[in-house]
Amino acid sequence: MTFAIGGDLTVHRLGYGAMQLTGPGVWGPPRDHDEAVRVLRRAVELGVDLIDTADSYGPYVSEELIKEALHPYPEGLVIATKAGLVRTGPDRWLPVGRPEYLRQEAEMSLRRLGVDRLDLFQLHRVDPAVPLADQLGVFTELQKEGKVRHIGLSEVSVEEIEQARRHAEIATVQNLYNLTNRQSEAVLDHCEAEGMGFIPWFPIATGQLARPGGPLAALSQETGATPAQLALAWLLRRSPVMLPIPGTSSVSHLEENLAAAGVTLTAEQYTNMSRLA
């Protein structure tokens, strides 16, 4: 149940995504600041050693909460962040890949998180208005300066991954992927073949899979596992490079999600779930 990001950064494969710690529309502070802090601390208590965030979550709020709750960080905790999207309001995201902007955001993330090096720094979106070589050039410069350990991409195709690898060593890819939305299947297969970590965002398709009478309701009754746990267990079985990062702003939901690591699917259950897409 572990994976070595970049070949040398070993983490448990079930992590935590810190996007939902912010306010509505991933904008502003959380409704319950103290609960957000409790969620982060409880995640680490339960063995989470991969926390995924981004400068645009809030913006900045998620990174600031992580530092407040967990700094000084326990040994082995990997915090992955991203840059490349700017915010103009709730639920509004615009790609900006200008090299000077990406460098600025990296420097600010270092400061907000209180670290000397970003373990995993991900290009949140490829900006079509800026050559990819220029965008990744900043990442490799930061890597040479010792400010970034590993480089990742988000929402890319196989072709874009291969283009990016001509300019930088890519350790991970983060794309939308879950049991009922497998549009990134080819990207996942490519990551597995190349030994890159695959971080599925929206891993349990909140609402669709967990609703009463949903597609996992019968199996949930049969196994005693919740639909969310089943969806995560399916992802973990799907590929050894899969690194799900379910997010929540509730300690009880966090504990439920992380218990998915103890759910074992039979071959028949896995096959039947795979037919749901």
The residues annotated as belonging to the active site are 57
CB 119 within 8 A of CB 150: yes
Decide: helix, strand or coil at residue 2. strand
At 108, give phi and psi (nearest 5°): -70, -35
Angstrom distances, CA of residue 234 to CA of 140, 162, 192, 223, 265? 34, 27, 16, 13, 7
56: Cβ contacts below 8 Å, ≥ 6 apart = 26, 82, 83, 85, 86, 87, 93, 124
Residue listed under structure tokens 């957000």 = 36
CB 244 within 8 A of CB 179: no
Nearest to 230 by CA among 239, 242, 217: 217
Q: Given the DSSP bridges, would you call strands 148-154 and 170-176 parallel, antiparallel or unpaired?
A: parallel
Nearest to 153 by CA among 121, 184, 130: 121
* Segment (H or E) for 171: strand 170-176
Helix axes 99-113, 61-70, angle to 10 degrees: 30
264: Cβ contacts below 8 Å, ≥ 6 apart = 233
